[in-house]
Structure formats: structure tokens, C-alpha cells
Structure 1
Amino acid sequence: MSSDSSSSSSKPLPPGMVIGPDGKPCKICTAFRNWKPRVDKSKQPPNAPAGQQKTAAMMAAFASGTGFTASQSQAQSQSTIGVEPTRPANCPPDVEQLGNATWTFLHTTAAYYPEKPTMQHRVNMLSLLRALPVLYPCSTCAQHLGENMKAHPPDVSSRTALSKWLCEEHNEVNERLGKEKFECTIEKLDERWKDGPSDGSCD
């Protein structure tokens, strides 16, 4: 191993940075906010565009959990501490965007899966799910999913069974990430992924 690689590997990693199977920082496994360094507003030139300053203050309020209702003084004080960078729309996906898109696709596919699937439906769905631990770009996510699928194999016997299985898998990930769990009843799942709320707000 060269001294170059050993010195780079001995450097402490930024918080939230994930190492890939090649031993290097994994961009697709890491959230954008952990990949890009925080911006210290106190070190920015005073002639920074007003729009940029306002956006930074808003992002600081949002990142601190105070949301968009934070007072201007709160937002300004947070902006001097340092704010997470705003991810440009034309960037490749990070782990969060990829995860959200994947879960949306899988839950929606399950919502429209037949209640009485044919053998071909079952084979195709199992092929899709079994391909994820092999092909998913985030290697750590793929490994976790593969281990979970071995412990709790996919249930493709019906639309209801598949929807609930996916919900439980998603909740396992949410729990690991410290996120709120979703209620895995078919009524709640259909409301979220197929029919929308009964108040018609999504119609």
C-alpha cells in the first residue's frame, strides 16, 4: 500500500460519510449534506448576494428543526454557525434521494400488484426484489436489504401480503435511521400509495 493511500485512510472521515466496499468514500451511500462541507456564513464575503444569504438563513432554520416559522434573528444566528449546502437539482442522486425514489417505486408497484397473482406475477416480483441486493447502487443499503430478505423472505402471495411485507421492511430501515415508523395496515398503505386520503386533497 502506498504512503499516499495510507495517509488518506488515516484521516478522520466527516460525520455521516460512508465507506464503500473499495475502501473509499461512497458518494451514492452518503447523504449530500454529509458529502459537502457545511458553509460557514461568518466566513463568506459581506457582498454575497442577498438571495444567497436569505436562502442560507432559511436552510439553517430548516436544518435546526425550527422550520420556515423561525424568526429572522433565529435564522441569522443559525446561518453564522454554518448551514448545510443546498443540493442542486442537476446533481446525481444521493443516498436519501435514491432511497426515497426506490421506496416510492416499490410501494406503488405493490399497491397495484394483483390480489390473486398468477405464477408469472409472483416469479417476476420475486426476481425484481431479489435483484435489489445485487444491483442496488448503495452497497451498504444493498447488504442490509439482502440480510433482511434472508431473515424475512418476500411474501408475494397477494397484493395485501406484499404491501405489508414492504412496509415492514421499510420500517426496519426507518428504525435503524431513527425515523418514524409507518402503520402497516392495508387501509393506511392504500391511502398513502394508491387511493389518497379520503378528504380528496390528492384528487
Structure 2
Amino acid sequence: MSNEKPCRACTDFRTWAKRQKEAYDSEKEAQKKQNQTLISNNGTRDNCPLDKDELGSKSWAFLHTMAAYYPDKPSEEQKADMNNFFHIFSKFYPCNICAKDLQEQLKYSPPETDSQEKLSQWLCKLHNEVNTKLGKPEFDCKLVNQRWRDGWLDGSCD
């Protein structure tokens, strides 16, 4: 059978209906296989809505990566946009407790947007403050570009 969509005007009804059923069954089987591959080792699906910890981890990864690729010499518009981004991000972050905490942190420590280095260091310090509140270990901010932009010096990211 070809991959072309069956043409009803070019095929008798019985053949057309059979091909439609085969295409439907094939699609259904493919969806079933895809769903099975989404089940992780612990029996839960991998494509479920994020919980607070997953959301936090993925959000930090995004923010650090964004900071890692921020310009070394941003324009005034880029500086303002990045500052606005963090304030808007804090208003719409899905975890209300986290959002309010970030809003408070931004009041006494606004984003440092003068360069990639300053933004990355500011974000690392902010992240470490959250880690401290959560009883998690702090990250060595001297390693921030290795972690989020360049890769580790030992070549393990190559």
C-alpha cells in the first residue's frame, strides 16, 4: 500500500473503506507505541505536567542558559528588556510561593544587566539564595560559564 491518501473517487467503496480502516488502525497502533515509550521506569508517564521541583529545575536551566548567552556588551534596550523580563517572569511564574519570593528578591537585588558576566553572576547568587532557603547545596559561581555555556574543562560535555 502506498503512503498516498486514498482517493475515494478513484477507488471502489469497499477498497477505499478498507484502506481507511488500515490507516486508522496503523495510526492507533503508532499512538499506542508512542504512549508506551513515554512511561518511565517507575511506571509514570514522562509527559505529565511538571511538579514544583521539575518546574524549578527546568526554569533555572532556562534562566541560566539565557544569561550565559546574554551579550557581553548589551545595548540599553537589551538591558531594559532583560530587567523587564525578570520582573514579568516573577509575575507569571506558575508556583505562587516561588513567584512571590522572586518578586521580593528583585526588590532588594534587581537584575544586573550590564554584561553577560554580571547577569550570570547575579543569577547564580539569586539561585544560591533559593538553594539555601530550600536546604540545598550552593553552586560555585566561578563555574557558571562552564556549567551553562562552555562546558566543563575536563571535556565531558564534548
- Residues 1:122 and 2:79 aligned together: yes
Q: How far did residue 127 of structure 1 move?
A: 1.6
- Residues 1:109 and 2:76 aligned together: no
**CA RMSD, Structure 1 to Structure 2 (Å):** 1.3
Counterpart amino acid of 2:103?
A: G
- Residues 1:196 and 2:151 aligned together: yes
In structure 2, how many angstroms separate the alpha carbons of the residues matched to 1:122 and 1:105?
18
- Residues 1:99 and 2:56 aligned together: yes
- Residues 1:151 and 2:108 aligned together: yes
Q: TM-score, normalised by structure 1?
A: 0.56
* Aligned length, in residue pairs: 118
In structure 2, how many angstroms separate the alpha carbons of the residues matched to 1:111 and 1:91?
29
Show the counterpart of 1:35. Answer: none
Overall identity of the aligned pairs, in %: 46
Counterpart amino acid of 1:195?
A: D
Q: How far did residue 115 of structure 1 move?
A: 1.1
Equivalent runs, 1:8-19 vs 2, <5 Å: none
Equivalent runs, 1:42-53 vs 2, <5 Å: none
In structure 2, how many angstroms separate the alpha carbons of the residues matched to 1:106 and 1:153?
15
In structure 1, how many angstroms separate the alpha carbons of the residues matched to 2:117 and 2:152?
18
Q: How far did residue 90 of structure 1 move?
A: 2.0
Q: How far did residue 154 of structure 1 move?
A: 0.9
Q: How far did residue 87 of structure 1 move?
A: 4.5
In structure 1, how many angstroms separate the alpha carbons of the residues matched to 2:63 and 2:44?
25
Please give the secondary structure, in 2, of the residue aligned with 1:90.
Answer: coil
Larger-gyration structure (1/2): 2
User: Structure 1: which 4+ aligned runs deviate by more than 6 Å?
Assistant: none
Structure 2 unaligned segments of length 5 or more: list them.
1-40
In structure 2, how many angstroms separate the alpha carbons of the residues matched to 1:168 and 1:129?
15
Show the counterpart of 2:95. Answer: 138
Counterpart amino acid of 1:202?
A: C
Cα deviation digits, residues 72-98 of structure 1 (max 9, x gap): xxxxxxxxxxxxxx6421210001111
Q: TM-score, normalised by structure 2?
A: 0.71
Show the counterpart of 1:17. Answer: none
